[in-house]
Amino acid sequence: MGSPKIIHVETAAIRAVGPSLLVKVWAGDEYGIGECYPSAPASGIHQIVLNLEDQLIGEDPRDVEKLYEKMRRWNIFTGGQAGAVLTAISGIEMALWDLAGKLQNVPVYRLLGGAFRKKIRLYADCNAGTVDAAAHHTGEDGGILGEEGDEQYVAVAKEAIARGFDAIKLDVDDVTGPLHRDFFNGAISPREHDAMVARAAAVRKAVGDEIEVAVDMHGRFDVPSSIRFARAVEPFNLLWLEEPTPPENLDALAEVRRNTNTPICAGENIYTRFDFKPLFEKRAVDYVMPDVAKCGGLSEGKRIANMAEMEYIPFSPHNVSSPIGTIAAAHVCAAVSNFTVLEWHAIDMPHWAEFVRYSGGEVITDGHIELTEAPGLGLELNEEAALEHRHEKGGIPFFDRA
């Protein structure tokens, strides 16, 4: 038998948690599956994936790192540094790892250098149920700040603990709500500040001191408001405060970090090792959270984790993917020393686990994913479940079924 060769790339748009794009890369009669997230049809990521097929046809799918660099460098003049192009490349790269593992009959974590651990710890994002990125943080999901929502967070947090999770995350930003003065201005009003602190306080009080609690601000606020809030929540001993300021200016984030004892986490809106480099150099974070379905893929995620490890910074990836992207992220978490906890964003979505048949049985048990010896990512796509949750907008083919 000669070397395997890539013959075809296919996509399907689904709503798993939010809008995801599934990617199949074929070599002979075997395929690998990957996921691009976020991938709203308007982003055009499916078309970028299909266009990238030209750079893959005839290549050996086991040469994953070479093919990643080929796709990235081919697009260096058209956005190969960040954004939709990198998200498209991430899903393909994930599919290549799955395919490479299947062809060599080894799990992906072995191809990444082997496992420090096979039981991967998750935290439950308690703001589950968000389907549209556009509808995210409009008050529909977390409840209107100051009026409702705190009890919902407490209830979901308790549900997570009952299911075996020992770490949770909640959102405190509601910039379209009645307490925020101006959507385009990142200043937190006094009543808004109090309501945000009250929400964090209510959850901490409800879950007790032994559960780790992270708080997300989605990069919406200015420096003085962020510092004031970060200091106000210091008594709640947060796991981290996530993205207080927008992702473009890492000096501003570093200034927030320097002015509070609350640990800072960021990285879900940063792409590739090159853009993570200044995050570490500027000492802007205590935790780093690349998203492997977006930042470049598994090997890029691993490189970022290795860079963080040199700074003694823990690696805690962002993740809002279906089980495909989530299990793929778990393989990276297995293969790096500084992994701390991986995000899971679907606690109130019973259909989430149905997208795959997992070699380990249940995808999540007691707040963990246990990786197996099965080849590739160790999962099979449940295509009927994916079809049932197909994203109808944008006319994206459901694989080759049209």
Residues that bind Mg ion (CB under 5 A): 216, 242
CB–CB of 368/334 below 8 Å? no
Q: Could you tell me the smallest distance in angstroms from the CB atom of residue 275 to Mg ion?
A: 17
Q: Which is nearer to Mg ion, 300 or 343 (CB)?
A: 343
Q: Could you tell me the smallest distance in angstroms from the CB atom of residue 38 to Mg ion?
A: 12
Chain position whose Cβ is nearest to Mg ion? 216
Taking phi over 0 as left and psi of -120 to 50 as alpha, with beta for the rest, 114 belongs to left
**Which of 332, 290, 317 is CA-nearest to residue 107?**
332
Joined tokens for residue 177: 């709500």
Taking phi over 0 as left and psi of -120 to 50 as alpha, with beta for the rest, 367 belongs to left
Q: Which is nearer to Mg ion, 344 or 398 (CB)?
A: 344
Q: Which is nearer to Mg ion, 125 or 150 (CB)?
A: 125
Q: Could you tell me the smallest distance in angstroms from the CB atom of residue 265 to Mg ion?
A: 8
Q: How far is CA 375 from CA 8, 159, 318, 354, 371, in A?
A: 21, 33, 24, 20, 11
Torsion angles phi and psi, residue 217, rounded to 5: -115, 0
CB–CB of 269/250 below 8 Å? no
Q: Which is nearer to Mg ion, 92 or 304 (CB)?
A: 304
Q: Which is nearer to Mg ion, 212 or 242 (CB)?
A: 242
Question: What are residue 215's DSSP bridge partners?
Answer: 170, 241
**Which of 303, 310, 216, 331 is CA-nearest to residue 262?**
216
Q: Could you tell me the smallest distance in angstroms from the CB atom of residue 267 to Mg ion?
A: 9
Q: Which is nearer to Mg ion, 6 or 36 (CB)?
A: 36
Q: Could you tell me the smallest distance in angstroms from the CB atom of residue 4 to Mg ion?
A: 38
Q: How far is CA 339 from CA 120, 268, 323, in A?
A: 9, 16, 19
Give CA–CA dist 47/31, Å, rounded.
19
Q: Which is nearer to Mg ion, 10 or 216 (CB)?
A: 216
Q: Which is nearer to Mg ion, 242 or 275 (CB)?
A: 242
Q: Could you tell me the smallest distance in angstroms from the CB atom of residue 229 to Mg ion?
A: 15
Q: Could you tell me the smallest distance in angstroms from the CB atom of residue 392 to Mg ion?
A: 27
Joined tokens for residue 211: 């559960």
| Burial per residue of 111-148, b for 16 or more beta-carbon CB atoms within 10 angstroms, e otherwise | bbeebebbebbbbbbbbbbbbebeebbebebbbbbbee
Q: Could you tell me the smallest distance in angstroms from the CB atom of residue 318 to Mg ion?
A: 6
CA terminus-to-terminus distance, the chain: 33
